[in-house]
Amino acid sequence: MDYASENATKSSELAQAAFNLTLPVNVLSEDGQRSTVTPFALADTGDGDYNHLLCLDTTAPAVSISFPAGHLTDPREDLNPDTSVVINPAVLAQP
């Protein structure tokens, strides 16, 4: 197995392990109510970019997500830091 394939496999295994965690994704409904949903799947397109897609069972836009440290790696095999991200600040600004 070459280096890229080995890393893609390792990344996929780590991603699946991370998916088994509860990944709180905050969404905003049309009536302005915030709620927290959990992704029903974690997808990787296999393109080697180390980006993964969180599949949500809602059409409400995601506005933030948190992810605990130490579950995924970057291309240099560094573990991810504890992360919280505002995804779509424009949605939050709507009246």
47-88 pLDDT, tens digit per residue, is 877 677 888 899 998 899 888 888 777 778 888 888 888 886
7-61 pLDDT, tens digit per residue, is 555 555 655 555 566 678 999 888 889 999 988 887 777 787 767 788 889 999 8
| Residue 93: per-residue pLDDT | 63
| Residue 58: per-residue pLDDT | 92
Catalogue the E-assigned strands of the chain. Answer: 25-28, 34-37, 41-43, 53-55, 62-67, 83-86
Q: Judge whether 69 and 79 are in contact, CB under 8 Å.
A: yes
Domain ranges of the chain: 3-93
Compute the distance between CA of residue 80 and CA of residue 48 in angstroms, rounded to an integer.
17
27: Cβ contacts below 8 Å, ≥ 6 apart: 34, 35, 36, 37, 56, 58, 60, 61, 62, 63
Does residue 2 surpass a pLDDT of 50? no
Residue 18, burial from CB neighbour count under 10 angstroms (0-12, 13-18, 19+):
middle
Residue 11, burial from CB neighbour count under 10 angstroms (0-12, 13-18, 19+):
buried
